[in-house]
Structure formats: structure tokens, C-alpha cells
Structure 1
Amino acid sequence: MLKNYFKLAWRNLWKNKVFSIINVFGLAVGIAFTMLIGAYIWGQVQVNHQLKNFRNQYILTSKWKDAGQGNEIASAGQMPQALHDNYPDLVANYYHFDGVTTNVSKGDKHFRESLQLGDSTFFNMYGFKLLYSDATTALNDPFAVVLTQKMALKYFGKLNVVGQTINFESFGGEKHDFTISGVLGDMPKNSVTNLDQNNNSDFFFTAAAARFFKRNLEGWTNFSTVGYVELKDGVTAKDLEQPLRDLLKRNAPADISKSLTNIAVPLKDYYLDGWGGAAKRMCYTLGYIALFILLMAIINFVNICIGRSSGRMKEMGIRKVLGGLRGQLIRQFLTESVLMVLIATVIALVFYTLCRPYFSNVLGGQINGLFAFPWYFMAIPVLFAVLVGIVAGIYPALVLSALKSIDSLKGKLASAKESVLFRKTLVGFQFGTAAIVFIGALIVSQQINLFFNGRLGYSKDYVVYAQLPRDWSVKGVQKMESVREQLAQMPQVNSVSLSWDIPNGQNGGNYAVYKQGGNPAQSVTATGLMVDNQYAATYNIPMRAGTFFKPVFIAADTTQVVINESQSKMMGYKTPGDAIGQKIMQQGSNIPLTICGVTADFHFGSMHDLMPPITFMNVNYTTYYRYFSVKLKPGDIQQSLTALQKKWSELLPGAPFEYSFVDDALKKLYQSEIQLKQAAYIATILAIIIVLLGVLGLISLSIQKRTKEIGIRKVLGSSVTGIISLFMQEFLGVIVIACLVACPLAYWMMSTWLSDYAYRVTIGLNPFMAAIVGLTLVTALLISIQTIKAALDSPVKSLRSE
């Protein structure tokens, strides 16, 4: 009997090819999109879960009394080992590292790479596997290095490079060959080697190598390291709270222990919850979008199934007269519906495979292939097909199978009006959802345009930046200043600045400052930027008063600082001019600093936050630097970059010229928003496609059922325009009602999303008008194309249709 059901179902689908294709394709698109988003979310949730003993792994984060005092992800260098040594009944293992970048060379290959200086517990604690060599001894030598297989191929063109040497540059400008002691295999995405999603470490050293690199991993005042601990079975983060407090109180300076609280955060949750929960918000947002798209596809499928079913009443009557039972008819309808969903699901799996690389690129995260999921995931598509098939087929199955044979043969359906109302409600839901997604995409786009084209407070146009070889000494800064002057004399260059910071939100630290003679308890926590006297000119930051340091640096100017307008106000100066010449103190220092200039406010970091107070320190005084920022003159940019690279190679031989535009730094800063924008555009296109497929199917059904009516209207004098408007009325009213409901919902949803930003666009009428008018015009065009053929057909042909 089941075989017969499937045979009849297939024949019926084949008989109505157009409706079947429309129905199956629309559902397949919705299923494929949902599967891709679901796979992405699954991958995000699984980050850190592949680590050894991941349930016992924790990262030590820092919560400061004043959020600007320190970095959340850094903990005291001595803390992880102290926990392990003093509380062996709680802590099974520890790892901490200092993540830096430096110049790496092999022959004529020179690149700037990310590396970790950390404990030798790295392999044992997380279970990372070496393709070559022994993990227990790979990090015993201070001049040994373990690299990833990607780096082995990059520098040597092969994987087995154990015993080869590769050259690294220290932060003092020295160079030394390190022996490769191991090659790491592919590692799953994790928050140890890839703590910052924009910076993946590829070289790993023992802590003893820190001496060569001029770095320090220890101490209770050193907050430039990231600390991890592995707890023993049964131990929780709560059990570490008191030990963390006790160790800080006993060992750290009083001002640190009073203002700092260390918190052990489970590594299995850190990726989603860390960095302000950006990954979790992204997952929720994409999940909701996928759910709405899937609901639209299912509703579209159900709607067409219901619409088609009323045309099969005579078939049901004949089958009943010939002895068909109601249960058999119900099973027949459900079989047809499930078969269609199964076909759609198979097509969706094909779409998934074809679109997976594109979606991985758009969302910035690897989406697994179909066979990379646990085996039990294979049951999900089958269960989904059965469930949706039953939902889609149950209404027509119950209604049509309950009709009396005589009513079925006469084509009478008592609940026709209710059926039409139900279907129009479903269509309205589709239009409303499409409108919400469309409006949301437009507002997200407006907000992202604000990030790049809004009032940043500085000029990013024609500015490129590149990292420099480190020599953090007076001599090293003087050398870089000399190089800077020579680059600035190039005809293609407007200005060049030497600094630690570029406007990407990642600064060298925060300073608590107060007026000389004032109360230190009333200090202002300012973002500290280490720059030279060309920084304001290169980034075109306006001055409100004074000068941006002096044209030529002399030792007597070491204590001069520049502040921004926000800091000037927060420190109590009525005007920027009042701040000039005033002396301020930095907590922890007895040296007074003199304000020589006040800049206008500008967005150094994300627009999530208000513009912070900023203190500019002279790089000649601090001697810490990372970047050259080069403002090119307008013209042939590629030619200017080629000339700049040639000059760079002459002045800094062996230092790679790996440049980026400031736009690229902003893209990294707003990476999740850009990904959301791209996903929203894709969702909008899919939503419109699904809506139009639904309209196409329903209009085709309506024309098919009303063929004789069209012929009668033409005989009685109705025009082509009149017949088209007849079908227009059927949907345009639904569109208007759907949009009236969707607009307030979209406004509320987008207002909630924008509330996360201190600086945001104002929601105007344009996105709403564009969405409503756009959907209406496209729908009207589709209806016109469908109905014009029926309206132009001969009335004689129409009257003979039944």
C-alpha cells in the first residue's frame, strides 16, 4: 500500500510540474539557508570544545574598578603559576603567554608574524598534536621554536622541517636563528592560539626565550600576559575566588589589589561570552533571521499545498465512490506532502554543498561539510521532512477527506471562505517578514556607512600603516625618526607619523591623571596614545588650542603632553585654551606633565562607546612604537605604494613592507557588523524570492480556477486592465496590512539593536518607504506578468476550460 501511495504521489507531482517546482524550490532555498546558518552557529558553539579536558579549562580575566585601568584579558604574569604552586588541590596545570609580533626571515623571505612566548605546558595542557617531533621535549631549548604547518609550507615549501633554522628579530633590534623543534598539525579554532579572532599565532616559544625578545612574563605588576589554568575534576570557578583574592592581596601592590578582581571564566564559554559577547549576539541574530526565512518557506509551501488541494475535490469524490476510505485519503495527501519536502531537502543539501564556501567567506568562519557533523545529525533532515510534510498536508487531508461524496463530485467546499482567509493570513505573514528583513538590512547598512563615512573626527583617506622592526630605546626611536623624515620627503608622500597606536581601538594602556595639587582620588582615566609630532597632521586631527608637540623634539620637551577636548572638559577646564600650560600628574609617577595642546575629539575606537578622554605621550619620551602611518598624496595610489615599498626596502632592509589602509583596520573593528550586513542582504534577497515564489504559485492557481470567470468578464466587456486589477486587489490589500504591522515591529527591533551604539543613525522614513514600495512594485509586476496572458486569451477558449 505504501508503495502505491508514493507512486500516486509522484504521478500527481509530475502532472502539476509548474506548481511542484515552485513549491519545492522555495522550500529548498529556505532549508538550505537555515542549514548553512545552523552549521555556522554549531561551529561557533563548538569553539574550545575540542581542547583536551575542555570542561576544566579556564581563562583568568581581570575586572578593574575603573574599566579603563587595564585590559580585561590580561592577568598578573605571576598569577597562573602561583595558583598552581599554592593550591595544588585545586589547579592541575597552568599556561600563560605573551603574544607579540616580530619580523621573521628565511633566506629572501621576510614577513611580520604573530608568536607566543609561553610555558612548556602548552602541548600537554590542551592536547595539541605535533606532526613531527616529540611534544614533551619540543619546548625545552630557549632557542627552539614550534611552528604551524601553514608556516612550514610558507617558509620552506614542505612540512617536515624539524632541525631547520629560521631567524627572528627581538624588540631590541637583534636577530637570532632558532631551531625548529616541531611542526603543529591543523588546530581547531580556539581561544588559546587564536585569542583575538583577527590575530592567529603561528610560532610558539618557551618562556625562556622571552629574555632574547626583551619581554617579561613574570611579576605582579606585569599585566601584558594572558593566563590560563586547568582545574581538577569537581573544582569550579567559585572555588578559585578566594585564592585569587588572597594571592593578589599578598603579592600585588595595594593600589592594584584594591582595584582589581580576577575572575576565572570557563574556556568552553569564553569565545561566545568574551569581547562583549559579540559572537553570541551574532549567533542569536543570525539564528532569528534563519528561523524567519525557514518559516516563510514553510508557510509558502503550506499555502500552495492548500491552494492546490481544493482543485482535487472531484478526485476525492470519485475515489470515495469507488470505495476509498477516509484514512487512505489522509495517508495519500500526507505521503504527497512528505515526498515533496524530501525532494526539497535533497535539493537543499546540494545547495548547502555549493554555497558553503561563499557563506564561510561572508560570515568569517569555517562552515563544516555535510559529513563533518556527528552521525546523529543525519536524522535531522528526515525528521524535518516528515514533520513539515505532515503540517503542510494535514489541513487539506482532513478537510477534503471529510467531505461527502456528493459535495466532492459537485466541487463544493463549505469552508472556502475560511480557507482563503487562512491563506491570505499566511501570505501576509510572509510579506511582513520580508519587509522586516528588508528594513533591517537597510538600517544596518546605514549604521555601517556611519562607521566609515560618518564624522570620525580624523581623515582616513590615503592613509596606510605598516609595522616596524622593534628597537625600544632612545637610539631605536632616533633611527625611526630619521627613516620617517626620509620617507616624508618622497614626492608621493604627504606626511609620515611614528606611533604605537593607530585609530583601531587598541591602545598601549590607560592612565589615571589629575591636576597637579589636586586629589588623586578624583583622577580621570584617559586612553594613552604614544605618538610623534606628525600624528595630528597625518590623520588630520583638528587642534582646539596649542600645538601638537613641537616641530623638533628636544630633551626638555619630554614631559609635554597633548590631550583631547573630552579630557579637557573632564578635568575642569572651561575652554581648551585654559588647559594650555597647565600641569597634570599621572598616578604612580612624581613627574608633572605639561599640557601643550588640545585636539578635537575623534573616534579612536568603536562607536559602541563614547569618545574617551585621550592623553598623547611623545614617542621620543616613552620610546615605544609599532607603526609608521603614511598619508599619500592623491593620484595613482598603486604607483605611490610601489615607490614607497622600494624606498622602505632601501631604508629598512630585511623588514617586510606589509601595509594596510586605515579602512582595513576599521573593517576589523566592525567585523561582526559587516558580516551581519552581508547576511542581512542575503536574507533579504531570499525572503523576496520566497515571497514572489509564493505569489507566483497562488496567482497561477487563482488564474487556473477562475479561467471561466475571466472569459465571462471579457464577454461582458471587461478590459485587460480591469482583469489585471481584479487579481491585484487580491494581494495589494494583504501587502498594505502586512507592512502596517511590520513597520512598528521593525522600528522596535532596530531601535533595540542600535541602542548598543553610543553613536548611531536616526531611523527615518526612507528604509520603511523603500521596503514597502519595493515589495509592492515587484509583486505588482509579477502579478501583471502572470495575469496579462490570461486576460489576452480568447473568451471562447476560457469558456470551454471547464
Structure 2
Amino acid sequence: MFKNYIKTAYRSLYKNKGFTAINILGLALGLATCLLIVFYVVDELSYDRYNTKADRIYRVNEDLKLGDNQVQYAVAMPPLAKTLKAEYPYVEDATRIKPAGTTHVKKGNSNIVENKVGFVDASIFNVFTLPMISGDPKTALLEPNTVVITESTAKKYFNTTAALGKTIIFNDKENFKVTGVIKDVPKNSHFNFDFFVSLESFPDSRSNEWLRSNYNTYVLLKDAKDHTKLAASFPAFLQKFSGAQMQSELGMNIAQFEKGGSYFRLNLTALTDIHLNSNLTGELGPNSTKEYVYIFSAIAIFILLIACVNFMNLSTARSSNRAREVGVRKVLGSSRKNLIFQFLAESILITFIATIIAVIAASVLLPAFNQISGKDIILTTQSLKWLVPALLLIVLVIGSLAGSYPAFFLSAFQPIAVLKGKLSAGFKGGGLRSFLVVFQFFVSILLIVGTLVIYNQLNFIQTKNLGYNRNQVLIVQNSGELNQQAGVFKQELAQLPGVKSATMTGFLPTNGWRNTRIYFKDASYDQKKSLFPQSWEVDADYIPTMDMKLAAGRNFSKEMQTDSSAIIINEAAAKFLGFADPVGKTVYQSLGGDRKGNTPNVKECHIVGVVKDFHFNSLRQKIEPIVLTYGQNAGALAIRVGSADIQSLMSQIKAKWNSLSPGVQINYSFMDQDFDLSYRSEQRIGKIFVIFTSLAIIIACLGLFGLAAYAAEQRTKEIGIRKVLGANVTWIVTMLSKDFIKLVCIAIVTASPIAWFVMNKWLQDFAYRITIQWWVIAAAAVGSLLIAFITISFQSVKAAIANPVNSLRSE
């Protein structure tokens, strides 16, 4: 019986090739899109779950509030890890990670720039699942100047994974012994290092400072439930271990500190929550947000529903064509149950064929999707274990759901009414079909509005006045490699014809190097009158090179020795301090360390200028107070160029570099590119939105195309009579199109307020954002109407220009 259902279904589908092709193409597109989104969502949700102990690993974070200043850190104090392990029996182990930043690794006679270098504790292999190919994980990083590298790194530098005992040279001067080779860190990890350097090589790791935080710290609990117990113990823990240092440096204990409205707290974040639920200062890499997971999951469901809606619409629309078939089958003895099974078999067969095509399409498109989304998703044997059963379930569920209404609708026809021709046909009267068309375009309009808003916001970010000029600025990232020659390099570059100015500092608006200091407004050292801004060490050329503007006062001067204690603040800092005229005022910088009597260890700083506010964080955040101090910092070299011949200028810069540092590779970038990298996530989301929106519209139009074709076919004789009576093509096209256009208008009216609300909520994540203008909604509405009209018109014009003689010949 089942074989007969399949054979009959195949014959019926083959007979109606156009209907079958539209249905299969629509379902295949919907399923392929859905599969790609599922791969994306599964990848996002799988971050750090490769760790076998993932459910018991937590990161310790720090929250600090000083007066009206509040900061949330993903890092903690140097001695925290070992102290937690010693104090609490339920802490099985603890470990720390500290990124090393840009590092040069020697290979032959050249130095290769590496950015995936981290200082780690030897206990990292006890906490995280980092399988070692060679070496002993228990002892690999116990000694200073030892390093564990990944498998691909060993092949890169030694052409083999047998790298134990070999030497790696960092920054052309530091020798490290390879004591282990591990498998590559999975891409879906919140940290991705290629070099794991022993923290014993880093003297600061043995610091006993409890008021400074610069280590990502993780604890492995014996039982996951103990995280609530550990979090509850933090207040007493901080009082015990940091209280004495706070009393020494700030002249108050924790209770007094909190009484003034400030606080100093620790909290925990589950390892598996870091990627989607954490965006703190000091993260080991850019994280995503769970909102995007929700959005894309909803899009996948909507697109799949649109594809199913097409199937249901087309099947019911052509019901009149199969009505006589149903009547004859019933007269010949077919039961309603057999008819239902027959139509469900057709539906499942279409879904099965569409699923096969979708899987092939998704596999072919996956590399391109990876490039757009920034992912590295691959189909593995592990993936197939859940994918194959899921696809089989999809075939059954979607096939049954998409074919259920046609099956029950068609099988309910009464044979007498059908064979007498009393069954109503046509587009009119199809209430469910009308609702489904509205739903399709409702979703399409939501996606169109979402795409327009995202691109407008990205354009706003790209063109907004940031308070500095990022164009034509070359950044030499590793100028510190020149050591004492860095100043000479800067001076020589400043003499080149194509260079306008140059500044030496690692503190740039587009990089992640940040430093904070405590400043008191006056000599009362009242924490309520304190400022906790970022503090950047810059030279006298910084403001001109960045093309920043002074709101008041003057710039630093090389000629004035007193500028060693001078500072320049931004407008946000001036507003925070409450100074109407900040220039000439004195503030007090806390230096930490032991107090001198009843006076904090401070440095008097006089304000010589106020720089206009400039963006140095994401536009998701408001501009915060910042203090510029005068000094020498060789972290990077920023060069404002004026030459149109960039290639020639770069050759000269490289020649200068090679003369001062032969064998060391120059590492450079352009500031506008660095800025764009900060918003790579939004740019990728924008591209993905465009792709998915286009696919949703194409799928919706396929269904509309099919409906228009059947509506025109069912009204062929009516059109013929109207043409004989004098109706022109325009009038007939209008007549055939208006019913569909009405439905699209209903979708516009219902979708527009919801689209505005949803995208307005998304924009709330940006401190600086666009306002959704009326034309965005209008553009989406007009675009939807045009797309629908063009789709319908193809069939309408075809019907309108047909010869009426052919349609009326049998009458």
C-alpha cells in the first residue's frame, strides 16, 4: 500500500512539473537557510563546551565603584587564584591567564608577528581540556622560560609536532624551551592562544597586591553547586585579604569604603556563559550576545514557516484542478483515510526531495557563509550524529504539517458536488490562504526594516565625528621593539616629505590598551569627589597627530619642564569634576603604596588643557572621563601621512625601520581599518541580514508567483469574456493584482509598528544611535509592494495578453 502511495504521488507530481518545481525550490531554499542558521546558532551555543569539566569552571570577575565611577572587570587580583584554592576545600583548582599582546617569534632570520601568546599558570591543564600530544601537563609550565605550543604552531616553526626541547625566541632576545605540544585550541573557545608561556617567567605573577586587577582568573569547583557558596563567601574573603592594603593605601577599611557609596566586589561567571553573556573590561577576546542567537533562531523559524506556507497555499489553490480526481476516487471506493495518506505521501515526498537539495546546497554554501559570518563551521561525524536524525524528523514533521491542510481539505470534498461542478474555485474565498500570504509578507517586511536600520546604524558609525581623525593615520604596532631607538625612528619619520606629524604612545582610540588611575578633586581626598578615569601617557605631538581639538587651555609642551606634572582632561572629566573653568586647577593622583601619616600617597597634577570629547570606546558606550599625562610611551607609533603615494612612503618607512632594527619585521596597520575591526560583528550581522532577507523575499515571491498563476488559470474564461467586451490589458492586470496587493497592504500595516519596536530595542544597545525615520518604514512598504506587484504582474500580463479565442473555444 505504501509503495502504491509513493508511486501515485510521484506520477501526480511529475504530471504537474511547474507546481512541483516551485514547491521543491521554495522548501529547499527555506531548509537550506534554516540549516545554515542552525549551524550558526549551534556554534554560538557550543562555546567552551569542549571542556570536559565545563559545568564546574567559573571565571572570577571584579566590580569596582568609586564615588560615581563604576567599572566591571573580567580580570582579578594577582594572588586571588592560589588563595582561593588554599582557603576553600571545594575549590579543586584555580588558574590564571594574561595575554602577552603582540609578540615577535623568530623563525630563521626573520621575526613573525604573533598575537595569540598568553602567560598562564601550570594548573591551566588541570582546569581546561587541552589534550597534550607530547610532554607532561603536570610539569610542563612549572619552570620559568618554558612554553607549550599548539600542534599547528609546532608545524609552523619546526615542520613537525616533535618539538619537545626545542627553543623559541621571543622579541629577538628571550629564549623559551618547548616543554609540551597540545592539540589546537578549538575555535569555539573564548580564548585562542597558540603559545602558552609559563607565568613563572613573569615576575608580576608573584605579586601580593589585592587592589590591582590584571589576570583572568578561573576556578574549578569539585561540585558545580558550590558556586553559590563561593560567591556568598566573597565579602568576608575580601575583608580578610584586601582590607589591610585598602587601609594602608586609602586610609579606610572596606566598611568605610562602602559607607561612602563605593564598593569593591567579586562575582562569578560560568565558563559556558562567557561568550554570549559577558562583555566586561578585560575580556580575552570579542564576545557575541545572546540577542543575536534569539534573532537568528526566530529568522530560521520564520523562513521555514514561509516555505511551508508556500506549500500549503499552492496545494489548496490548485484544489479545483484535483477536485474531480478526488470525486472520481471516492466514487470508485477510496476512503477519506486513503486520500489523506495519498496527499500526505505527496507532501512528504516533496519535502524529502527538497531536504536532499537543501543539504547539498547548505554544504556547498557553508564555506561562503563561514567567510561572511567569521565562523569556522565544518560538518564532522559528530555533527552528522544529530543532523541526520534531525533531518529525518524535519521530513516527517514538515511534510505532515505542510501537507496536512491540503490533505484534509481535498479529501473532504463531496463527490456529488464536485462532479456537478458546484465546488467554488478561485483565489477568492480562500481565507486561510489570504492569512498565510499576509504572514509571509509580514515576516518579509520585518526583515527589510531590520536590514535598513542595521545598515543605517553602521553608516552612522562610519561617518560620525569621533572627535579625532582616523583617516590617513599609519600605526606601527611594534615600535617598542626598537627600544632606545624608538625616539630616533620617530624623529627620522617626521622628516619625510609625506609625513605631517608623528606621536609615540601605545594609548590610541582604536586599540585595547587601557590604564586607570584614581584622582581626587581636592586635598580632602574624599572618595565622593574622586575620579577613576582612564589615564593615557602621551607626548606633545599626540593631539595634533590625532587631529583632536582643544576646548580650553593649551597642549603639552616640550619646552616646559613643569609639564611633567601637567594633565589634559576631556570635557566629560571636566563635567564630572564640576569645574566651570578647569584650566589651572589642581587635582591629586593616588599613587598607591603606604600612606604618609594621615595623607594618602598622592601626586599633585595641574590641569593645563581640556580636549574636546572623543570616542575611545565602542559607540555602544557613552564617552567617559579620560586624563592625558605627559610622558614617553613606546607602545606604538602613530604617523599622520599626507602623501598620495602611500606605497612609496611605506617603502621609505620600512627602509628606516630596517636600518634601525634589521631582521625584525615591522608590524603596521591603518587606524581606519582598526576602527572598522571594532564593529566587525555588526558588519557581519548586517551582511547576514541582507542575505536572509533576500532569501525570505524570494521564497515568499515563489509562493505568490504560484498563487498568481493559479488565480489567473482559474479565471481564464472570465478574462476572455472581459477582453471580448473591451477590457484592456491594464484593467485586467489591475483586476488580477488588487486582491494580492490588499493582502500585502495588510501585512505592511501590521508589521510596521512591530518592526519599529523591535529595531528600536536593538538600537538601545548603542549610546550613540540613529533615530528610525519614517522613510525607513515607507521604503520597506514600497519595496514590498513593488516586489509583490512585479511577481504578480508576470502572470497577470501573460493572462491579459492571451488570445480570448483559445480560452472561449470550448464554450
CA change 1:756–1:731 in 2 (3 A) is same
In the TM superposition, residue 634 of structure 1 has moved relative to its aligned partner by 4.5
For 1:416-455, what aligned pairs fall within 5 Å after superposition? 419-455=429-465
C-alpha distance in structure 1 between counterparts of 2:27 and 2:810, whole Å = 31
For 1:456-495, what aligned pairs fall within 5 Å after superposition? 456-468=466-478, 470=480, 476=483, 479-495=485-501
Counterpart selection for 2:266 from 262, 267, 274 = 262
Whether the aligned pair in 2 keeps the contact of 1:152 and 1:158 (CA below 8 Å) is yes
| 1:531 alignment partner AA | V
Counterpart selection for 1:232 from 222, 227, 230 = 222
Whether the aligned pair in 2 keeps the contact of 1:499 and 1:532 (CA below 8 Å) is yes
In the TM superposition, residue 96 of structure 1 has moved relative to its aligned partner by 0.8
- 2:279 is matched with 275
C-alpha distance in structure 2 between counterparts of 1:783 and 1:37, whole Å = 30
CA change 1:525–1:128 in 2 (3 A) is same
Whether the aligned pair in 2 keeps the contact of 1:44 and 1:279 (CA below 8 Å) is no
C-alpha distance in structure 2 between counterparts of 1:132 and 1:370, whole Å = 25
C-alpha distance in structure 1 between counterparts of 2:208 and 2:425, whole Å = 79
- 1:131 is matched with 133
> Alpha-carbon deviations, 1:95-146, whole Å to 9, x = none?
1122112222122231232322221112232231122333333224322211
1:341 and 2:331 aligned: no
Q: Post-superposition, which runs of at least 4 consecutive aligned residues in structure 1 deviate over 4 A?
A: 66-71, 214-218, 255-258, 414-419
CA change 1:775–1:38 in 2 (3 A) is same
Counterpart selection for 1:206 from 198, 208, 215 = 198
Whether the aligned pair in 2 keeps the contact of 1:500 and 1:508 (CA below 8 Å) is no
CA change 1:553–1:409 in 2 (3 A) is farther
Whether the aligned pair in 1 keeps the contact of 2:58 and 2:218 (CA below 8 Å) is yes
C-alpha distance in structure 1 between counterparts of 2:603 and 2:513, whole Å = 22
- 1:606 is matched with 618
Whether the aligned pair in 2 keeps the contact of 1:708 and 1:801 (CA below 8 Å) is no
C-alpha distance in structure 1 between counterparts of 2:530 and 2:773, whole Å = 40
SS at 1:579 equivalent = coil
In the TM superposition, residue 507 of structure 1 has moved relative to its aligned partner by 4.3
- 1:84 is matched with 85
- 1:525 is matched with 532
C-alpha distance in structure 2 between counterparts of 1:309 and 1:640, whole Å = 73
C-alpha distance in structure 1 between counterparts of 2:63 and 2:643, whole Å = 45
C-alpha distance in structure 2 between counterparts of 1:757 and 1:405, whole Å = 63
C-alpha distance in structure 2 between counterparts of 1:628 and 1:275, whole Å = 28
- 2:787 is matched with 778
C-alpha distance in structure 2 between counterparts of 1:149 and 1:249, whole Å = 44
- 2:342 is matched with 332
For 1:621-660, what aligned pairs fall within 5 Å after superposition? 624-660=633-669
- 2:44 is matched with 44
1:247 and 2:237 aligned: yes
SS at 2:375 equivalent = coil
- 2:260 is matched with none
C-alpha distance in structure 2 between counterparts of 1:484 and 1:4, whole Å = 84
CA change 1:217–1:728 in 2 (3 A) is farther
Between 1:343-352 and 1:578-587, the stretch displaced more is 578-587
In the TM superposition, residue 500 of structure 1 has moved relative to its aligned partner by 2.2
- 2:73 is matched with 72
Whether the aligned pair in 1 keeps the contact of 2:185 and 2:193 (CA below 8 Å) is no
CA change 1:786–1:638 in 2 (3 A) is farther
Q: What count of residue pairs does the alignment treat as equivalent?
A: 778
- 2:118 is matched with 116
Whether the aligned pair in 2 keeps the contact of 1:452 and 1:663 (CA below 8 Å) is no
C-alpha distance in structure 2 between counterparts of 1:296 and 1:801, whole Å = 38
> Alpha-carbon deviations, 1:392-442, whole Å to 9, x = none?
222222222222211122343359777522212211111121111111101
Structure-1-length-normalised TM-score: 0.92
Counterpart selection for 1:686 from 680, 695, 698 = 695
CA change 1:388–1:190 in 2 (3 A) is closer
CA change 1:411–1:651 in 2 (3 A) is farther
SS at 1:595 equivalent = strand
In the TM superposition, residue 795 of structure 1 has moved relative to its aligned partner by 1.4
Between 1:607-616 and 1:702-711, the stretch displaced more is 702-711
- 2:596 is matched with none
Between 1:215-224 and 1:202-211, the stretch displaced more is 215-224
C-alpha distance in structure 1 between counterparts of 2:307 and 2:69, whole Å = 48
Whether the aligned pair in 2 keeps the contact of 1:314 and 1:410 (CA below 8 Å) is no
1:712 and 2:721 aligned: yes
C-alpha distance in structure 1 between counterparts of 2:666 and 2:681, whole Å = 28
In the TM superposition, residue 320 of structure 1 has moved relative to its aligned partner by 1.0
CA change 1:312–1:762 in 2 (3 A) is same
1:535 and 2:537 aligned: no
Counterpart selection for 2:521 from 508, 515, 524 = 515
For 1:576-587, what aligned pairs fall within 5 Å after superposition? 578-587=581-590
- Listed as ranges, the gaps of 5+ residues in structure 2 are 258-262, 281-286, 593-600
In the TM superposition, residue 777 of structure 1 has moved relative to its aligned partner by 1.9
In the TM superposition, residue 6 of structure 1 has moved relative to its aligned partner by 0.6
Structure-2-length-normalised TM-score: 0.91
CA change 1:514–1:247 in 2 (3 A) is same
Counterpart selection for 1:496 from 494, 502, 525 = 502
- 2:332 is matched with 322
Between the aligned residues of both structures, percent identity stands at 33
| 1:124 alignment partner AA | N
Whether the aligned pair in 2 keeps the contact of 1:109 and 1:155 (CA below 8 Å) is no
- 1:53 is matched with 53
Whether the aligned pair in 2 keeps the contact of 1:469 and 1:655 (CA below 8 Å) is no
C-alpha distance in structure 2 between counterparts of 1:250 and 1:281, whole Å = 39
Between 1:365-374 and 1:673-682, the stretch displaced more is 365-374
1:594 and 2:620 aligned: no
1:352 and 2:329 aligned: no
Whether the aligned pair in 1 keeps the contact of 2:77 and 2:211 (CA below 8 Å) is yes
Two-structure CA RMSD over aligned residues (Å): 2.3
In the TM superposition, residue 71 of structure 1 has moved relative to its aligned partner by 5.4
C-alpha distance in structure 1 between counterparts of 2:619 and 2:542, whole Å = 21
C-alpha distance in structure 1 between counterparts of 2:11 and 2:512, whole Å = 64
- 1:181 is matched with 179
> Alpha-carbon deviations, 1:215-261, whole Å to 9, x = none?
76653234111111111125421111244333322222225955321
C-alpha distance in structure 2 between counterparts of 1:417 and 1:699, whole Å = 9
Between 1:709-718 and 1:14-23, the stretch displaced more is 709-718
| 2:739 alignment partner AA | E
1:165 and 2:167 aligned: yes
CA change 1:419–1:640 in 2 (3 A) is farther
C-alpha distance in structure 2 between counterparts of 1:137 and 1:553, whole Å = 55
| 2:83 alignment partner AA | A
C-alpha distance in structure 2 between counterparts of 1:361 and 1:302, whole Å = 35
C-alpha distance in structure 2 between counterparts of 1:764 and 1:706, whole Å = 42
C-alpha distance in structure 1 between counterparts of 2:316 and 2:380, whole Å = 33
| 1:26 alignment partner AA | G
Counterpart selection for 1:313 from 323, 333, 342 = 323
SS at 1:684 equivalent = helix
- 1:761 is matched with 770
In the TM superposition, residue 155 of structure 1 has moved relative to its aligned partner by 2.8
Whether the aligned pair in 2 keeps the contact of 1:47 and 1:190 (CA below 8 Å) is yes
- 1:34 is matched with 34
Whether the aligned pair in 1 keeps the contact of 2:60 and 2:267 (CA below 8 Å) is yes
Between 1:329-338 and 1:200-209, the stretch displaced more is 200-209
SS at 2:318 equivalent = helix
Between 1:346-355 and 1:655-664, the stretch displaced more is 655-664
CA change 1:40–1:450 in 2 (3 A) is same
- 2:565 is matched with 559
In the TM superposition, residue 455 of structure 1 has moved relative to its aligned partner by 1.9
